[in-house]
Amino acid sequence: MSEPVSIGLIGAGIMGERMLRAILAQPPGLVRAAGIWDPSAEAMARIAGELPQVARLADAAAVIAASDCVYVASPPASHLGHARAALAAGRTVFCEKPLAVDVADARAFVAQAGARGAVNFPFASSPAVSQLQDWVAAGAVGGSRRITVEVAFASWPRSWQADAAGWLDRREQGGFTREVVSHFLFLSRRFGGELRGLQASAVFPEAGRSERRVEAWLMAGDIPVTLAGSVGTTAKDDHNVWMLEGDAGAVRLCDWSLAERRQPDGSWQRAPNALTQLEARPVALKRQLEGVAKLARGEAHRLATLEEALNVQEIVEAILAS
């Protein structure tokens, strides 16, 4: 049996801790936690108290030195600096989205990195997305396809992200288009192809804060995509629907993890093995980490490639600049 892939983590916020716990939950031989670092003393103290078995390293350079693959979960503006340092040290990189906030810099990075990096879009490993793919392959949608994406939030940031509002609700790095819509653009790309031909509008009613409404029209390969997102238009923390419709029927993904298929009478039937988001998350994380191990070993994987993430980022930033 090969040695487990050692993953070092830069960033101990919500996503960093979630990934760290997922690593610790995996069977021996797949992955192991090389250590974690965050510039926040409070965040490091929290890790020390809750996960004392994990090495708390002195800085980002120490994380890189201890790792086979570096997981970058710091705020977006710092992603490429850490990723470049990891690549220069001969490591692979698994980065949180967005890849960056500067599109030109992201393009230069992707051209340099080649196949040594991937981005954490969990839909690449989602059980519900696998179900949608199976339905589509079986002819549930047919031709003349179109995609509709709707996302809505009671407030932004979402309640569980309040501690990160300092960057999540700022125009420079935050907003729901980068944080949430990007996932559904990635999903559309996986089903249709390269994202292109954008027309969009974004509304920023409060100076310095992130967007509160977006609308967009674009193509995923040959499939037209219509997107709408808003804040303050639902009582839910987070509500979303991604739908692929064609001349033979439709399938959709609701609230991140619920796959549904439209019946001849127009009603929607949920997949019999559908999981809630909380139930689906550990399954997807395990599959993502299996992909990270393959990435580190130079094997084929289904993680979001840097090229896919760059395409998504280009569209996201164009929406926000519209």
For residue 123, which of 313, 314, 308, 296 has the smallest C-alpha distance? 308
1, pLDDT greater than 70: no
What pLDDT, on the 0 to 100 scale, is given for residue 285? 96
Exposure on the CB side of residue 250, measured as CA atoms within 13 A: 17
Percent of the chain with pLDDT over 70: 100
Using the predicted structure, report yes or no on whether residue 2 has a pLDDT greater than 80: no
Question: Nearest CA to 98 among 313, 308, 320?
Answer: 313
Q: Where are the domains of the chain?
A: 5-120+283-297, 124-276+310-321
What is the topology classification, in CATH, of domain 124-276+310-321?
Dihydrodipicolinate Reductase; domain 2 (3.30.360)
Is the link from the previous residue into 264 a cis peptide, with omega within 30 of 0?
no
pLDDT at residue 114 tops 90: no
pLDDT tens, position by position, 222-233? 999 999 999 999
Distance separating alpha carbons of residues 37 and 43, to the nearest angstrom = 9
Write down the pLDDT at residue 156: 93
Q: Is residue 110 scored above 80 in pLDDT?
A: yes
Whole-number average pLDDT of the chain: 95
Its CATH class, for the domain covering 5-120+283-297, is alpha beta
Per-residue pLDDT at 174: 86
pLDDT(76) > 90 = no
Question: Residues 42-54: what's their mean pLDDT?
Answer: 97
Q: What is the pLDDT of residue 205?
A: 95
Q: Which range is least confidently modeled, 63-72, 165-174, 200-209, 251-260? A: 165-174
| pLDDT of 123 | 98
Asked if pLDDT for residue 163 goes beyond 90, the answer is no
Strand-pair category, 5-10 with 31-37? parallel
Which tens digits make up the pLDDT trace of 179-192?
999 999 999 999 99
